[in-house]
Structure 1
Amino acid sequence: MRHTVIASAVRVPWHSHHGGYDRLLDYLPEVERIISPRGVTGQKIAAAAPHWLRRRCPLPFYPAEHFATDVRVLARRGPAHVLYGDEQFWFSRHRPGPSAVTYHQPPAHLARFMPATNWRRLSAHASQIITLAPDQRAFFADHLPEERVHLIPHGIDVAAFTPAGVPEATRPLVLTVGWWLRDWDVLDTVHDRLHRRHGNNIELVVVTRQGSQRTWHPAVRVLEGISELALIQLYRRAAAVLLPLTDATANNALLEALACGTPVVATDTGGISYYTGDSLAALLTPPGDASGTAEAVETLLGELGTAAHATRRATARERAELFAWPRIADQVRSVYRLLKDER
């Protein structure tokens, strides 16, 4: 049996080549990918009628490429998997055949997208829903039967993101990666405290999306648009990956850091603890707690060169391997079997 898998027309630009949820498709060779190239009919329609789209689609982010994908999917029969339901399922919900839909945004953001009545109406069109964190599952279980809502975690390419020895502790690196749902106030405060204590004896680096307009602490080195190889080398060299967050389901930077064997300091919010577990790989701090976050980073810095730090690095890698894409793909196939039964 072949499955129609719907993927975003344009890869998320801040994900590296081996990062992002659409990497799942590399481990599902039996599916048929529908990815709209630029210039297709649906995209031309969307470009010509943006007001028409806005009037008919309540989703806050719905680019022309997604409408182009929807146009193609609407004409196809058989099972389908919409990989980014937050952005792609409004029009394609009317397609013939059963659909599985994966949602990525935290419940609070989903609730702001549309009122509950709209979510109930939309969810009714999904045969199965895949969520990435436990609180998401609870959100959708309010709108359709629990047996149709599945918790299948995000994956990570553990062959691309790998450890490479223990970093030197002469000038330790504290690395932050990403931009979405980051707690910039906490990050700025922690950077300031680390710089005041360590001065030039510590390296503070932020890897973020291109075009960032915010003002950074003067001691921070900001990198935009770097290669995946450069990113992996930073992960490997970092003494700690610092991820202050306002909310989360899955987090690519978290999984990438763990796969590279780097311990993480992250905010205990949303699905973060679901991915870190109670392992030594991560130190979790309460939301908005800049002091606790700075202390957690200092704990990791103080362990550099010790057996405790080596244990954290090994544990981080072990934790990441639980989310290796082949494992996740097998869980997604179980949802595909339900689609086949429904058809």
Structure 2
Amino acid sequence: MKKNIIHHRSPHHSGYSGYACLIDFMGDVQVIQGKPQIPYKLAKCLGELSSQKAGIYNSQSVQKEIELLKNINQFSKENPTIIHYLNGERDIRYLIKYKIGGEQLKFCASFHKPPEVLEKTIQNTTYLKKLNGAICVGRNQVDFIKEWLKLKHVEYIPHGVDTAFFEPLKEKPHSKKILFVGQHLRDFEMLNNTMPTILAENKEASLDIILKKEFKHKVNIKSTKVSIHSGIDDFTLKKFYQKASFLYLPMLDSTACNSILEGIACGLPIITSDVGGNRTYLEGTGNFLIPKENSQKFIATALHLLSNPAMCEAIGKQSRALSLNYDWNKIAEKIESFYKSLFS
């Protein structure tokens, strides 16, 4: 089977974060990155002619399609060939419309946005309905995508995490460091409303916030015990996870969350909102899923963990054990099996 993966990496992800890491664990694949095939101005013009109501399609999408077309033309029509869009919310247009490779060419995509966001941002599903299959990184997407796109082959395969890179410290110093990471679908209102009380109640506690600098204005906590970090490298990010007492992550919605996966891989307890796919990702552990509007529960849970280091250690061990189920090697095997199922 020939495998073509349409690459996409969100610019804020570290080198060891994000769904594009899957490529490193897939073995023999052809990666379509959107290398320049035609002049940029022409690609930009072609991208702008396509309606964004069918998903993001820009100059880089055009380059990807041309690069993919050249690659498809080189394969024998007798060879089963998979085209896997790593991000189903973008880049899918004209090649899938014509499906020039016949029955031996199958298209699939992984979807990352919650159902409410997908329905709002992709109003024209003409192209997506031509997919042969869809991978959902959140269990909360499965029924929606089956109905929305009228697809037979829809499967929940969790997002992965690099458990060799993201790992706990062998000897973790006792601290009362709280960690908040990321910006996508984060509940900044809940963070701003609860954290002042938590920091006031526990005088030793501190908060590290890691996010893109464009989102710094979202944080409105007046305290010298709060530090905001942007533009850090992969190893610094890992150190923040490893040295934290727990990950504090109120969220508005979710499917899969990189920060939660990286947090559990580094042996952290998690306090997050009971929304979207979070419950599935944390099932079987003592981690904390809080009703998203219950600010008092967020505060009480954080204070309880700050005063119980033994509990943090015990839950952290459960987190690490759970994270091994999401190791990219295991996820890659499941995706390979999904590919094969499209030809059966």
Per the normalisation by structure 1, the TM-score is 0.89
The correspondence for 2:119, drawn from 96, 111, 118, is: 111
Partner of 2:220: 216
1:22 and 1:303, CA in 2 relative to 1: closer, same or farther beyond 3 A? same
**Number of equivalences:** 328
- Structure 1 distance, partners of 2:198, 2:44, is 48
- 1:269 aligned counterpart, secondary structure: coil
Deviates more, 1:57-66 or 1:130-139: 57-66
- 1:54-94 CA distances to partner (integer Å, 9 max, x unpaired)? xx331464442233212322444332111101112134422
Alignment-mate amino acid for residue 328 of structure 2: W
Are residues 1:66 and 2:74 paired? no
Residue segments in structure 1 that go unaligned for 5+ positions in a row? none
1:59 and 1:293, CA in 2 relative to 1: closer, same or farther beyond 3 A? farther
- Structure 2 distance, partners of 1:272, 1:90, is 31
Identity %: 24
Alignment-mate amino acid for residue 160 of structure 1: F
Partner of 1:136: 141
Q: Does the CA contact (< 8 Å) of 2:181 and 2:259 recur in 1?
A: yes
- The offset of 1:45, in angstroms, is 2.3
Are residues 1:268 and 2:274 paired? yes
- 2:319 aligned counterpart, secondary structure: helix
Q: Does the CA contact (< 8 Å) of 1:82 and 1:101 recur in 2?
A: yes
- 1:301-339 CA distances to partner (integer Å, 9 max, x unpaired)? 1211x2x33211110100100100010000000122134
- 1:181 aligned counterpart, secondary structure: coil
The correspondence for 2:183, drawn from 171, 179, 182, is: 179
Partner of 1:32: 30
Per the normalisation by structure 2, the TM-score is 0.89
1:197 and 1:279, CA in 2 relative to 1: closer, same or farther beyond 3 A? same
1:150 and 1:162, CA in 2 relative to 1: closer, same or farther beyond 3 A? same
Task: Note the 1:221-232 alignment, pairs <5 A.
Answer: 221-232=227-238
Q: Does the CA contact (< 8 Å) of 2:18 and 2:258 recur in 1?
A: yes
Partner of 1:98: 106
Are residues 1:46 and 2:43 paired? yes
Q: Does the CA contact (< 8 Å) of 1:2 and 1:31 recur in 2?
A: yes
- Structure 2 distance, partners of 1:42, 1:261, is 47
- The offset of 1:15, in angstroms, is 0.9
- Structure 2 distance, partners of 1:70, 1:210, is 32
- 2:208 aligned counterpart, secondary structure: strand
Partner of 1:15: 13
- The offset of 1:49, in angstroms, is 4.9
- 1:80 aligned counterpart, secondary structure: strand
Q: Does the CA contact (< 8 Å) of 2:166 and 2:238 recur in 1?
A: yes
Q: Does the CA contact (< 8 Å) of 1:123 and 1:144 recur in 2?
A: yes
- Structure 1 distance, partners of 2:171, 2:249, is 21
1:90 and 1:16, CA in 2 relative to 1: closer, same or farther beyond 3 A? same
- 1:319 aligned counterpart, secondary structure: helix
Q: Does the CA contact (< 8 Å) of 2:185 and 2:252 recur in 1?
A: yes
Residue segments in structure 2 that go unaligned for 5+ positions in a row? 73-80
Q: Does the CA contact (< 8 Å) of 2:265 and 2:323 recur in 1?
A: yes
- 1:7-34 CA distances to partner (integer Å, 9 max, x unpaired)? 12xx312111111001111111121111
- The offset of 1:112, in angstroms, is 0.1
- Structure 2 distance, partners of 1:60, 1:296, is 39
Are residues 1:249 and 2:247 paired? no
Q: Does the CA contact (< 8 Å) of 1:123 and 1:143 recur in 2?
A: no
Partner of 2:340: 337
Alignment-mate amino acid for residue 184 of structure 1: F
Are residues 1:159 and 2:164 paired? yes
Aligned-CA RMSD value: 2.0
- Structure 1 distance, partners of 2:58, 2:165, is 30
Deviates more, 1:322-331 or 1:65-74: 65-74
Task: Note the 1:308-323 alignment, pairs <5 A.
Answer: 308-323=311-326
Alignment-mate amino acid for residue 52 of structure 1: L
- Structure 2 distance, partners of 1:157, 1:45, is 38
- 2:127 aligned counterpart, secondary structure: helix
- Structure 2 distance, partners of 1:32, 1:109, is 30
